[in-house]
Structure 1
Amino acid sequence: MTSALSTPPAPARTGAPSAARRLLTTPTMGPLVALLLACAFFSLNTDQFLTGGNFSLVIQQVMVVGTLAIGQTLIILTAGIDLANGAIMAFGGIVMAKLAADGAVPPLLAIALGILVCAAFGALNGLLVTSIPLPPFIVTLGMLNVVFALTHIYSADQTVANLPAPLTALGETFAIGGTLVTYGSLLTILLFLLFAYLLGQTAWGRHVYALGNSSEVARLTGIRTRRLTVGVYTTAGLVYGIAALLLVSRTGVGDPQAGQTDNLDSITAVVLGGTSLFGGRGLVLGTLLGALIVGVFRNGLQLMGVSSIYQTLITGVLVILAVTVDQLSRRRIR
């Protein structure tokens, strides 16, 4: 008689469940499911939504805010925030448009100068945050007003038109399967992929996450936290400059009134993408999903004939829900 004790135990079923669990707990899974559900809802409620042309329009509408949100993601991962990014973008756009339209410098140099101006404002934010030091909220709130005023002073409240071709090249389109896609949309996607790699596969990215989790612990481990913070804000400013070029190329003008709500829209995209406002947790590809969620909701509601005020209302509700989920998940971790 074979003893029950000699019976070999059943093999542990660890492969599939653990893989499924990892998939379900991926930070981007929630935003992805929300995006797919939104697409399904609007597809059932309007025939115009599920078309290549409409999807291309959504991507064009979110490429500027999405690019801004890349820089915002970097800063929020360090437990900071940037309320001035939309204003910095508008100033950079005015600088490159005015210099190129006036013929003061060649168009490509005008673009470079506009981007560098944005990077300089980002570096100044980082220096104020680390050197005085001041809370990022206060620094960027003050910078918002400073840059907004400078934009209107420099432009004399005039829209800059008749731009040379290099400034509008990214707004040009090409066809993919009969659907028109702008070069700027491709640039935005490439930027997301680039920063996804930098944050996920480089020492710099690991240091950014460490800084957001605890700046003191990061300092004690040998990370130069002040230099890193200034570098993050400067990099974010550089990205805002690229967003300025995308904005100019899409609209064909330098507009001093541009970007007035884009700071809040970029924060919305970051939060909806699953990045914690408390720093140290999140993925830049989640930010892309968050930007697409905002774009899909606004586009779908517009196609359904819903008033713009209700679009703003729903976006606000989504942000509150996303932050609530973040808070609850932080409590479970503790």
Structure 2
Amino acid sequence: MKAKLPPLGTLGPFIALLLACAFFATQSDRFLTLQNFSLILQQVMVVGTIAIGQTLIILTAGIDLSCGMIMALGSIVMTKMAADFGLSAPVAIALGIAATALFGLVNGLLVTKAKLPPFIVTLGTLNIAFAITQLYSGSQTITDIPEGMNWLGQSLRIGGTNVLYGVILMLVLYLITWFALRETAPGRHIYAVGNSPEATRLTGISTDKVLLGVYVAAGVFYGIASMLSVARIGAGDPNAGQTENLDAITAVVLGGTSLFGGRGILLGTLVGALIVGVFRNGLTLMGVSSVYQILVTGILVILAVATDQMSRKGVR
């Protein structure tokens, strides 16, 4: 029976999510409502999309500290292009995503060509993206944007509750990326590089190309998250993205992806993002201070990493 069960790192996040929902359901009558679950999905929409790119990088045994600020830069680029030059929403959005993809390319080149540690590279580009965002925006929120940029922030009626188009897009992105990781050769190469870069290279796979592709793809996901952020708040905020990097890493770790690379399921990242969203929502309904919400999130991360360590020892 034990051999037939999924690994703890895979099953654990789902159990944690169910237990959290069960607990908060006993604490608030408003928790188990479709409207509240729709609100939770809205709250994790941006971070959940960023976490897709973060998962790809962590699967290769890397990490990206710059993801939140790159997302903020993308939102400023697309809103400034629309506001200052009168560009249509699709063109402005494409330019914003191109900017975030370019930052992903820079991260990838520094990791693959300069052989710098991902932690140091992305710590540097985090500060660079922050400075460019502040300088380019003049530290001002960009509100004069075309109506088309707000479309993903609109909702449709499903099962008696309103669901944002942006939430649907996020879920579709998870399904597509999950399928690509599971069923395609490039997806399997990502896992292989995370497990053993040297063994992967000896099989004839270019590890540098895989890593470069992963960082560029992550940049594209950050750009899509920029689009969702603009759609949700109706503006480009230069002060956004300052905590999203840690929130995305938290979602990945809680979802069971190993920080050592090579192990993890993308849909687990979505569960991890929902765990964070459920805890924050549930504690808010209980009237608990936001400081304690951050405390609980930190404890969850430590527990998730400890579980990962124990599962690795079990494999050995």
Would you say same fold, with TM above 0.5?
Answer: yes
Q: Which has the larger radius of gyration?
A: 1
Counterpart CA distance in 2 for 1:245 and 1:22 is: 42
Query: 1:286-334 CA deviation, whole Å, 9 max, x = no partner?
Result: 0000000000000000000000000000000000000011011111211
TM-score by length of 2: 0.98
Q: Gaps (5+ residues) in structure 2?
A: none
Asked if 1:40 is matched to 2:28, the reply is no
The answer for the alignment partner of 1:262 in structure 2 is 244
Moved more, 139-148 or 26-35: 26-35
The answer for the alignment partner of 1:178 in structure 2 is 160
Moved more, 63-72 or 102-111: 102-111
Identity of aligned residues (%): 62
Query: 1:2-22 CA deviation, whole Å, 9 max, x = no partner?
Result: xxxxxxxxxxxxxxx4xx743
* Secondary structure at 2:264 match in 1: coil
Counterpart CA distance in 1 for 2:41 and 2:220 is: 21
Counterpart CA distance in 1 for 2:71 and 2:46 is: 10
The answer for the alignment partner of 2:77 in structure 1 is 95
Pairing 1:305-320 to 2, within 5 Å after superposition: 305-320=287-302
The answer for the alignment partner of 1:294 in structure 2 is 276
Counterpart CA distance in 1 for 2:84 and 2:166 is: 24
Asked if 1:25 is matched to 2:4, the reply is no
Asked if 1:70 is matched to 2:58, the reply is no
Counterpart CA distance in 1 for 2:208 and 2:309 is: 27
Counterpart CA distance in 1 for 2:145 and 2:3 is: 52
**In the alignment, which of 156, 159, 164 is matched to residue 141 of structure 2?**
159
Counterpart CA distance in 1 for 2:56 and 2:4 is: 24
Counterpart CA distance in 2 for 1:326 and 1:250 is: 34
Query: 1:215-269 CA deviation, whole Å, 9 max, x = no partner?
Result: 1111001110011100000000000000000000000000000010000000000
Contact 1:31–1:286, Cα closer than 8 Å, also in 2: yes
Pairing 1:1-334 to 2, within 5 Å after superposition: 17=1, 21-25=3-7, 27-334=9-316
User: How many aligned residue pairs are there?
Assistant: 316
How far residue 103 of structure 1 moved from its aligned partner, in angstroms, is 3.5
TM-score by length of 1: 0.93
Counterpart CA distance in 2 for 1:23 and 1:289 is: 19
Counterpart CA distance in 2 for 1:264 and 1:26 is: 23
Counterpart CA distance in 2 for 1:262 and 1:188 is: 16
Contact 1:27–1:283, Cα closer than 8 Å, also in 2: no
AA in 2 matched with 1:153: L
Counterpart CA distance in 2 for 1:243 and 1:134 is: 26
* Secondary structure at 2:85 match in 1: coil
* Secondary structure at 1:22 match in 2: coil
Query: 1:94-149 CA deviation, whole Å, 9 max, x = no partner?
Result: 00011112234222100000001101100110000011110000000000000000
Counterpart CA distance in 1 for 2:226 and 2:5 is: 36
AA in 1 matched with 2:291: I
Q: Gaps (5+ residues) in structure 1?
A: 1-16
AA in 1 matched with 2:261: G
How far residue 27 of structure 1 moved from its aligned partner, in angstroms, is 4.3
* Secondary structure at 1:260 match in 2: coil
